Chain A
Amino acid sequence: MSVTTTSLSRRDFLRSAAWGSAGLVIAMALPGRGRAATMDTQAANSSLIASDAAGFAPNAFVRIAPDDTVTVLIKHIEFGQGPFTGLSTLVAEELDADWSQMRAASAPANAELYKNFAFGMQGTGGSTAIANSYMQMRKAGATARVMLVQAAAEQWSVPVGEISVDKGRISHAGSDKSAGFGEFAEAAAKLDPPEDVALKKAGDFRLIGTDVPKLDTNIKTNGEALFTQDLHHDDMLTVVVAHPPQFGATMKSVDASAAKSTPGVVDVQPIPTGIAVYAQDTWSALQGRRALKVSWDTARAETRSTREITDAYRQRAQQPGRKAASRGKPEQGGDGLAKTLTAEYSFPYLAHAPMETLDCVIHAKDGAVESWFGSQLQTGDQGTMAEILGVKPAQVSIHTMYAGGSFGRRAQPGSPFAAEAAHVAKAHAKSRPLKLVWTREDDIQGGWYRPLNVHRLSGGVDADGNVALWDQTIVGQSIFSGSAFAAMIKDGIDPSSVEGAEDLPYGIPNFRVTLHDGEAGVPILWWRSVGHTHTAYSTETFVDELLEMAGKGPVEGRLALLGEHPRHAGVLKAVADLAGGLDASESGRARGVAVHKSFGSYVAQIAEVSQNEDRTPKVHKVWCAVDCGVAVNPNVIRAQMEGGIGFGLGAALYNEITLEEGGRVAQANFDRYRSLRIHEMPDVEVTIVTSDEDPTGVGEPGVPPIAPALANAWRRLTGDAIRDLPFVKIS
């Protein structure tokens, strides 16, 4: 079978290849501006098992080819947060490679070689890519360097200690000899890897800490980058699935006759999640799905509206739940305090709405399964597909593709999407490649949302103007409960429900956070920055109000409470310096500040806000300070802060998934599930706090502070404390 890719003849970066022998050719990440390369994923897979004859594979991560190129196999999926560039930088640093010789490719699914140390299995999430790979990738690079140097020393008959490596050249000054890595690739491949290697000191870094150009920018600028959606194989069918209109509903009966006679439709099959329509192309599949007549059984469906669910949560929030954190005497409440404040917050369900909807190409044949998709938890996806298709996990190969965003959506404990793809393959009688595609409507209405939450906070200030009480109750569905991550739940507390609240950094003597697990039949999932999406908002707006009651300034007041948290204080001071304080630049505007730690990184933001003619907020500028330890690539860090701010701002302003009476999702596309657009994007200025700490993540931590910074500015501007998100309700 041959593989069809995009206009092959016109594009020399792609070459066609026979499926069986050489696998699918995918576009590769490129360092140079204008150079192109190819990567054969199948070959990459096999080179892991037996070290490749051609070239040098010192470990599971580094491949050095005779042509001097260094390919780094990246265990983390690339959807814009930069691991292809970041992890390659770490290898290149210790290898003393030149940036122009670096390439990156997705590692195959292999939990043993490519596990994420934070999870114990292969996967990406929790902003862990750089943090958990920092030492591993540097060691991988350093190991390769030692072996290359040794090979050179042997060939040149000179002592190892006299050899130097710089920008991809191995040199011996005494004999005036010099060569590239490729020349010793074969010889190095015959050496045993050293047990232990020395790593550079931070002061000797040449690439870490610099803005090396991103490896994937080129092909993501001219349309050449291939995403799952872009794959075409001969004999491939496109598949869409009709899902039930309410969560938990199932198919009662289906009349597929009109669908089956739709031109281009090849097959219609019931699968556990709905009815799959197989067709020659996407349009025919959609037409076929439209022609289905399905009646659904709603006996076990969630038929409550979000209004009803919120009301039920509000009721529960009146009483404290299970204790997540406590000190002092919070149960005494506001007795004896000068001023008290109680506030209730509600946070809606949120869809992730990544730009590329969920999709997967799967081909089950001869007892093996090959798949191409933006798999974010490969180990789980692999196991799930194996089980459904009756093969061993090792017989399921996953080519992790570039993905058009995720924001948490593709990291699926329990692998429901991989399962749907496997069922789609199982239900079709013929063995052929199948491309399962979700439409935007499937995506927005398909569940796996950021859970709806209600928070209730009581606080107080004593006669001396000190914040003396903080009592917070959270009601929300547990993300970890019943998932592969259930072991993280301790004493009935799902840490992802209370993170960012139970570890409040402020020195408040009487403090408590309690949790009720909310119940709803709506499938939920982590959403870029998980629990911090709501805890940062309630805590940072509530502390702002308490400080005002205490007559303290937002920055000074926070600093006074942050005695034991120098990194929080550091970013707060840095952002205040960057913005020149909290006085707005002109009348009719106000500024608000927020600081929050998530995933080991500390971020503070100041937002300057005015009011649009239609009374909605207009954010003019956001200043941002981040402390994420050693800044591996400052440009990527700034980009993630900018993107996190835009993503968080759009959600705070416009986003909510609502269930109507009867349980149907009211929103279906970007018309009512509004995305932030360019004219609503503020200017962003970022400062990175210098640090020698090991690096921590940046994909998520830019998100939490923006909504409370906006809210605090808005309250100062209008007197209106927004406690029910989003700011703007779209009907």
Chain B
Amino acid sequence: MKITVNGSSHEIDAPDDMPLLWAIRDRLKLTGTKYGCGVAQCGACTVMVDGQPKRSCVTPLKFAAGHDITTIEGMDGAEFEAIQTAWRAIDVPQCGFCQSGQVMTATALLKEKPAPSDTDIDNALAGNICRCATYVRIRQAVRDAADTLEA
């Protein structure tokens, strides 16, 4: 299978029903994308597929082929930078394990809605579990990032 990740194309010798997550992590060794549940419940495995956040743990390779896949290692742009800065300013992460997925989903939200309401934030991120419950700060950081982008 041929997949395009972070702008480069890779030939993956694997069954076509293997989830994209394992191709990214075990084959390409891009480990910023995490395994948390394997069943589209937690969002730790979030990647961008053609700019849309997707759960790579339930995306078979055959559906990933032919699309542009971006992992956290390949992210850039104003929204991503604003999210990174906001995250660091208030020390959002605790254990950090869910945070790649949170950052990916939050970035996608800001791309779609540059000035999200609290409800927009909650709705967008409701699929991303943080067992450390850093949610108060995630919400704050997304608001802060939106403010920076607006300014």
Contact = CB atoms under 8 A, between A and B. Distances in A.
B67 interface: no
Residue among B38, B97, B129, B138 with most chain A CB within 10 A: B97
A357 B44 CA distance: 12
A217 B91 contact: yes
A125 interface: no
Contacts of A5: 29
Contacts of B32: 6, 222-224
A232 B30 CA distance: 10
Given A217-B91, A283-B14, A676-B135, 10 more contacts: A4-B29, A6-B30, A223-B33, A282-B22, A282-B35, A283-B18, A402-B96, A644-B133, A646-B130, A683-B136
A662 to B, nearest CB: 24
A296 B37 CA distance: 26
15 contacts: A10-B73, A221-B93, A232-B31, A282-B26, A282-B35, A283-B22, A355-B34, A355-B129, A639-B137, A642-B133, A643-B132, A646-B135, A646-B136, A669-B39, A678-B121
A19 interface: no
B142 to A, nearest CB: 10
Instruction: Categorize the interface residue count of chain A.
Output: 35 or more
B111 interface: no
A238 B22 CA distance: 12
Interface in A1-27: 4-7, 10
Nearest to A681: B135
B133 to A, nearest CB: 2
B129 A675 contact: yes
Interface string A245-282: 00000000000000000010000000000000000011
A677 to B, nearest CB: 5
B132 A6 contact: no
Interface stretch (A332-340, A403-411, A591-599): A403-411
A676 B122 CA distance: 12
Given A218-B88, A223-B72, A355-B44, A639 B38 contact: no
A101 interface: no
A355 B39 contact: no
Nearest to A646: B133
B103 interface: yes
Contact of B132 (A10, A80, A238): A80
A10 B73 CA distance: 9
A642 B93 contact: no
A7 B73 contact: yes
A263 B18 CA distance: 12
B133 A217 contact: no
Contacts of A137: none
B25 A282 contact: yes
B95 A402 contact: yes
Residue among B33, B88, B92 with most chain A CB within 10 A: B88
Interface in A621-666: 635-636, 639, 642-647, 649-650
A321 interface: no
A509 interface: no
Residue among B15, B31, B73, B123 with most chain A CB within 10 A: B31
Contacts of A670: 37, 39, 41-42, 129
B84 interface: yes
Contacts of B28: 7
Contacts of B137: 639, 642
B38 A678 contact: no
Given A80-B94, A645-B133, A221 B99 contact: yes
A677 B129 contact: yes
A464 interface: no
B126 A354 contact: no
Contact of A404 (B14, B19, B71, B97): B97
B15 A33 contact: no
**Interchain residue pairs A-B with the least CB separation, the first 5:** A223-B32, A646-B133, A404-B97, A220-B96, A80-B94
Contacts, number: 195
B62 interface: no
A681 B126 CA distance: 10
A470 B118 CA distance: 45
A238 B95 contact: no
B73 A221 contact: no
A326 B59 CA distance: 60
Interface string B108-142: 00000000000001110111111111111111000
A678 B135 contact: yes
A344 interface: no
Contacts of A219: 96
A635 B37 contact: no
Given A402-B96, A439-B38, A678-B139, A33 B26 contact: no
A559 interface: no
Nearest to B14: A283
Contact of B99 (A79, A220, A642, A675): A220
Contacts of A283: 14-15, 18-19, 22, 26
Contacts of B91: 213-214, 217, 635-636, 639
B55 to A, nearest CB: 12
A487 B48 CA distance: 53
B98 interface: yes
Interface string B26-70: 111111111111110110100000000000000000000000000
Contacts of A281: 14, 22, 26-27
B132 A647 contact: yes
A353 interface: yes
Contacts of A356: 34, 36, 95, 97
A668 to B, nearest CB: 9
Contacts of A223: 31-33, 71-73, 99-100, 103
Contact of B125 (A232, A282, A678): A678
A213 B85 CA distance: 13
A221 B92 contact: yes
A375 interface: no
A407 B131 contact: yes
B88 A221 contact: yes
Contacts of A227: 34, 97
Contacts of A646: 130, 132-136
Contacts of B19: 283
B64 to A, nearest CB: 14
A589 to B, nearest CB: 18
Nearest to A403: B95
Contact of A6 (B31, B84, B103, B122): B31
A232 B29 contact: yes
A220 B36 contact: no
Contacts of B73: 6-7, 10, 223
A403 B135 CA distance: 19
A238 B133 contact: no
A440 interface: yes
A639 B84 contact: no
B30 A7 contact: yes
A411 to B, nearest CB: 15
Contact of B122 (A4, A10, A679): A679
